[in-house]
Amino acid sequence: MNKADTSSSTVVIAIDGPAASGKSTVARALAAHLGYRFLNSGDLYRAITWGCLSHGVDCRDTGAVAMAVGNSHVEVGCDGTEYYPIVDGTDPRVHLRHAAVNANVSPVSAVPAVRYILSAAIRAHAQGRRTVVEGRDIGSAVFPETPYKFYIDAPAQVRQRRRRNQGQTEEIAKRDLIDSTRSTDPLTIAPGATVIDSSTLDVEGVVAAMVEKLRAQGLVFDRTRR
């Protein structure tokens, strides 16, 4: 069956890229434009990291992280059109951008057991739906079969400036290095992904470029279904 056929029930648009590349903003805007659901996989990784920190787990200890994740209950809720994490019955969204989470999320995300659990949860929630999913390994590892893949990038200094403008002092280069050199599902440009430099376009411009590419690929937009 043609993957662009609107009668096929599962459609995933995968958006990957490094820290502060602007992919969350454009992914949310694209989902709203198309009438798709939106899943920010980074929030799931941040939520697991917050759970480890709350339990006093040493996030640099791979075995301890794997054990803590195995013992915790991670769920994915949905607020209308947007997915969000729930860890052991708590919605941790207000904590996800704290400095301690920023500092520990990449080591936690490098643990294979963490990736296994979250990749399975992400696949399960996209099944039978139309979803824009953003992260680091969405087009390369979680949904390698989707024909709709984007990689949003911007020069490192532009991304660091954006983070500072958001009131965050973290050095995003450290996270990028861990994310792109880990052995399990590293950040990479997935084969077939369309690379967009977000430093030369505003949000509407990036979304317009994505919509144009999706149309050229034959994706038919039907806002009556999610």
Residues that bind ligand CDP (CB under 6 A): 19-20, 24, 41-42, 45-46, 105-106, 109, 135-138, 175, 179
Nearer to ligand CDP, 22 or 147 (CB): 22
Q: How far is the CB of 222 from ligand CDP (least distance, A)?
A: 27
Nearer to ligand CDP, 103 or 208 (CB): 103
What is the nearest approach in angstroms of ligand CDP to the Cβ of residue 7? Answer: 29
- Cβ proximity to ligand CDP, 2 vs 145, nearer residue: 145
Least distance in angstroms from the C-beta of 55 to ligand CDP: 19
CA distance readout (Å), 114 to 46, 120, 121, 211: 11, 10, 11, 32
**Residue 18 Cβ vs ligand CDP, minimum distance, rounded to whole Å:** 7
H or E stretch including 118?
helix 112-126
Task: Kindly list the strands in the beta sheet with 148-153, ordered across the sheet, starting from the edge strand earlier in the chain.
Answer: 74-79, 82-87, 37-40, 130-135, 11-16, 148-153, 194-197
CA 105 – CA 103 distance, rounded (Å): 6
CB-nearer residue toward ligand CDP: 106 or 131 = 106
- Report whether 49 contacts 101 (CB < 8 A): yes
Cβ 223 to ligand CDP, closest distance in Å?
26
Integer CA distances (angstroms), 157 to 148, 170, 176, in order: 28, 13, 13
Q: How far is the C-alpha of 27 from the C-alpha of 133, rounded, in Å?
A: 7
DSSP 189-219: --TTPEEEETTSS-HHHHHHHHHHHHHHTTP
Collapsed DSSP state (helix, strand, coil) of residue 76: strand
Nearer CB in complex with ligand CDP: 105/219: 105
Q: Which residue is nearest to ligand CDP (CB)?
A: 42
Choose between 24 and 194: whose C-beta lies nearer to ligand CDP. Answer: 24
Residue 217: CB minimum distance to ligand CDP, A: 22
